[in-house]
Amino acid sequence: MRALFTKEYRQSHLLVWMGLLLSALIAALYAVWSRKYVRAPVDQRDLDALCGYLLVVITGVMTLAASAGLFSSETGRGTLVYLLALPLSRSRIWLAKALAGLALVASGALLLIVPDALVIPGTVRELHLGLYLPDIVIWVLLGFSVTLFCSTLLQRTISVLLASAALLFALFLYVAWMVGILGVQITGYDDALDVALVVLAIVPPVLLASLLAFARGELLQSNRKWAFALPTLVGGIAVVSLVLLGAVRYTYRYQRARVERIEGVELAPRGAAVTFTSLGSPAPLERTSDHRWRRSTGASYRSRHLVVLDLKTGREAMVLPTTKMTALSPDGRYLAVLGGRFDGHSARSLRVWDLRGRRRVLRGAPRKLQQPSIGPLEWVSWSPEGEWLVLQTSSLDPRHGGGHESIVVMRPDGSQLAEIVLWEYPEPGIAPEEAVGIEDTRITSWGWAPGDSALYTLTLGGRLVRHKLADGKAETVWEPRAPSGTYQEGQQLWFSRLQVSPRGEFVALSVSLLASGESREAHRLVLLVPADGSRPFTIAQGTGAGLTAWSPDGRCLYLIGTRPFQIMRWRVGEAEATRVAAPANLEVRDRSVLPGGELLVWTAAAAYMVDGQGRFGPLPSPEIRSLPQHYRLVGIDSEGRALLSGRAGPPLLQAADLTTGRITKVYP
């Protein structure tokens, strides 16, 4: 067998010397170009990169050329009879040829790359050849196998080359499909490693098909080798695909079984379901910006899974490879998902799933949304009744100015699209901060009216507009007139934080008084605008009121100031909000309004409650009272329990019943 190997190698050894020749040629060209055309360091790097690409391309071509003639030349020339008449089994003949081909490719590539790498070190550096070397090797291996396979079946070198190119292209598409669409994530590493693994996995079936065709097929006077080659190839790749998918499922199950912690817990508006991102162990590896590996500590999007938990049944309604942005519909039935692995934030990545039926309602935003003028999607949310989906887009072009932010309102299945422009960036030449007048018209917040009948928008300057969805009409509910005498010259009013009451009677606005030289938080007041258009009124002024929260029945409004800590409560019908007596040094972390109108306050150390009478005090149950040390308050679920999420160790989600004081484990 060694004699055959030697003969094969020597048959094509010219190719190897070609590698050296080409290497010298490239070095010479590089020297000439460097001297003649390169002026700046940037161009020098371009030249280095170009040489590097040339080397990689030539390596690829050399691989094909070296392996194309291995078998086809024998068949074409008729010397195959000689080979088969040797006292060697066919598999050995195949092996000798394959090894010789491999040796040719390796020695040719070495003679091509190493001299240039030594002479032009910039090449290696620019392309990070050292980093990508394993990828190059693996793709060269695939190219070699594919060409070997085609060489076994075809007679003329040119047909072999064409067939190999076609087959390589097809396999490339296959790899892209497996990794991209099927989302094969075998390793916890990044895409490149998954791609490399898939490529490596399909090399054995290709080689096996070639071996079987040669060893078992009829090579002389008939074409029965195809009957061995093609089924083996297709079957082999199918088997490999199944194994890979199986490995993925295993990895997935492995990771899912070891949920270390969860984050990003969000409760559906009516508390029927909750979404969160679960992080499995071990933590995945990621490549840093200086091209090293390290264990991901935070938000690498590998091996994170988005879980939708149905709180009624306690089961996972859906698990997805993690994405950027999700929103559960209020009844917990639909899940809108934004951001895909390769689509990023584009409108193409929008998906809407029906959790009950486990099918997709919407895949990819409708055509209108995909126009470049609309821009990538930033946020997705639902209307209170779950009839409308709101997508926030931003098509800002920081380099050249222009563009706009807008919200798009549409049905979950993508129909009945309407766009509301929030803000248009001024033309180039005008800095946004200088264009005060335009700033005033910028919409800073928006909110739904109950029953999904209308959408309210609020500009910075305080103009409140109601958009009726039924007929698409927009009417201004209120806008401020010129400042009254209470305010002095040089002061501005900034309106923000619109919150519509759950009964739709009022719209609460947060107003900031900005005087020159003072910080924004100096004066804040809350303005209530009645929805029927009657005169708005303030319920609290001169305070640093920060957070507002309506009770679910719309009867009272809580205002929570953070510095200093204070709670004020206003009930519908009263003229002003009343202060709730509470210690001033508390630091509020989370708050929720219970269905009965009580306010639940979560600080860093303990849990407090403002009851129906407006009294502030710690929670009666001692177990729940101490929970904030380990758990955060997510919200109130549909049964009135407080949903809590912990960061370290199981259980990761708990529900606390405030009346009975019982704590139940929700997840895992």
Residue 8, exposed/middle/buried by CB under 10 A (0-12, 13-18, 19+)?
buried
User: Quick check: 652 and 259 in contact, CB under 8 A?
Assistant: yes
Phi then psi for 62, rounded to 5 degrees? -65, -40
The continuous run of DSSP H or E covering 68 comes out as: helix 41-77
Residue 530, exposed/middle/buried by CB under 10 A (0-12, 13-18, 19+)?
middle
Write the CA distances from 507 to 473, 557, 564, integer angstroms. 19, 11, 25
Q: Per the structure block, which two tokens stand in for 377?
A: 């999607």
Considering the complex, state which of residue 75 and residue 300 has its C-beta at the smaller distance from other proteins.
75
Considering the complex, state which of residue 154 and residue 237 has its C-beta at the smaller distance from other proteins.
154
**CB of residue 139 to other proteins, shortest distance in Å:** 31
Considering the complex, state which of residue 13 and residue 442 has its C-beta at the smaller distance from other proteins.
13
In the chain, what is the straight-line distance between the N-terminal and C-terminal CA atoms, in Å?
61
User: Quick check: 161 and 168 in contact, CB under 8 A?
Assistant: no
User: Quick check: 448 and 461 in contact, CB under 8 A?
Assistant: no
Distance CA 27, CA 117 (A): 10
User: Quick check: 70 and 60 in contact, CB under 8 A?
Assistant: no
Can you say whether the dihedral through the CA atoms of 104, 108, 109, 115 is positive or negative? Answer: positive
**DSSP character string of 9-67:** HHHTHHHHHHHHHHHHHHHHHHHHHHHHH--SHHHHHHHHHHHHHHHHHHHHHHHHHHH
**CB of residue 84 to other proteins, shortest distance in Å:** 5
Considering the complex, state which of residue 98 and residue 198 has its C-beta at the smaller distance from other proteins.
98
Considering the complex, state which of residue 90 and residue 261 has its C-beta at the smaller distance from other proteins.
90
Distance CA 528, CA 540 (A): 10
Considering the complex, state which of residue 1 and residue 418 has its C-beta at the smaller distance from other proteins.
1
**CB of residue 149 to other proteins, shortest distance in Å:** 22
**CB of residue 91 to other proteins, shortest distance in Å:** 11
**CB of residue 87 to other proteins, shortest distance in Å:** 4
**CB of residue 199 to other proteins, shortest distance in Å:** 34
**CB of residue 282 to other proteins, shortest distance in Å:** 51
Considering the complex, state which of residue 223 and residue 371 has its C-beta at the smaller distance from other proteins.
223
Amino acid identity of residue 144, one-letter, is F
Pairing of strands 418-424, 443-448: unpaired
Cross-sheet strand order for the sheet of 389-394: 377-382, 389-394, 404-410, 418-424
**CB of residue 19 to other proteins, shortest distance in Å:** 19
**DSSP character string of 575-589:** SS-EEE---TT--EE
Considering the complex, state which of residue 6 and residue 578 has its C-beta at the smaller distance from other proteins.
6
**CB of residue 82 to other proteins, shortest distance in Å:** 7
Residue from 621, 622, 588, 625 nearest 606 by CA: 625
Write the CA distances from 81 to 96, 322, 548, 634, integer angstroms. 16, 58, 89, 78
**CB of residue 216 to other proteins, shortest distance in Å:** 9
Considering the complex, state which of residue 3 and residue 170 has its C-beta at the smaller distance from other proteins.
3
Positions that interact with other proteins (CB under 8 A): 2-4, 6-7, 10-11, 77-79, 81-82, 84-89, 218-222
- Residue whose entry in the numeric block shows the structure tokens 């309106």: 495
**CB of residue 80 to other proteins, shortest distance in Å:** 9
**DSSP character string of 423-447:** EEPPPTTS-TTT-HHHHHT-EEEEE
**3-state SS track over 220-284:** CCCCCHHHHHHHHHHHHHHHHHHHHHHHHHHHHHHHHHCEEEEEEEEECCCCCEEEEEEEECCCC
Considering the complex, state which of residue 3 and residue 176 has its C-beta at the smaller distance from other proteins.
3
Q: CB-side exposure of 513: number of CA atoms within 13 Å?
A: 18
**CB of residue 157 to other proteins, shortest distance in Å:** 15
Considering the complex, state which of residue 93 and residue 619 has its C-beta at the smaller distance from other proteins.
93
**CB of residue 221 to other proteins, shortest distance in Å:** 6
Distance CA 507, CA 5 (A): 85
